[in-house]
Amino acid sequence: MAIIRQRAVATLPKLIQSLRKPAVEGRTHALPSLRRAFSLYDQINLIDNVPQDQLRFQGYTDTGFTVNGVEYEGSVLCVGNLLLSWSPNRLSQITPESLSIFQILRPIPEILILGCGRQIQQIDPELGRFIRSTGMKLEAIDSRNAASTYNILNEEGRIVAAALLPSGVSS
CA separation for the pair 167, 148 (Å, rounded): 13
| pLDDT tens track for 124-134 | 999 999 999 99
- Evaluated on CA atoms 64, 28, 19, 49, the torsion sign reads negative
Whether pTM > 0.85 for this model: the answer is no
For residue 134, which of 94, 161, 152 has the smallest C-alpha distance?
Answer: 161
Domains of the chain by residue range? 60-170
Confidence (pLDDT) at 14? 65
DSSP E strands: which ranges in 14-95?
A: 29-30, 57-60, 64-67, 70-73, 75-79, 82-86
SS3 (DSSP) at 47: helix
Q: What residues have CB less than 8 Å from 18, skipping those under 6 apart?
A: none
Q: Where are the alpha helices (DSSP H) in the chain?
A: 2-18, 125-133, 143-155
SS3 (DSSP) at 53: coil
Confidence (pLDDT) at 43? 39
Confidence (pLDDT) at 111? 95
CA separation for the pair 148, 50 (Å, rounded): 14
Q: What is the CATH number of domain 60-170?
A: 3.40.1230.10
| pLDDT tens track for 24-49 | 444 555 555 444 444 444 433 344 55
pLDDT of the chain, 171 residues: tens digit per residue = 666 667 766 766 665 665 555 544 445 555 554 444 444 444 333 445 555 678 889 988 899 999 988 899 999 999 877 899 999 999 999 999 999 999 888 899 999 999 999 998 899 999 999 999 999 999 999 999 999 999 999 888 889 999 999 988 765
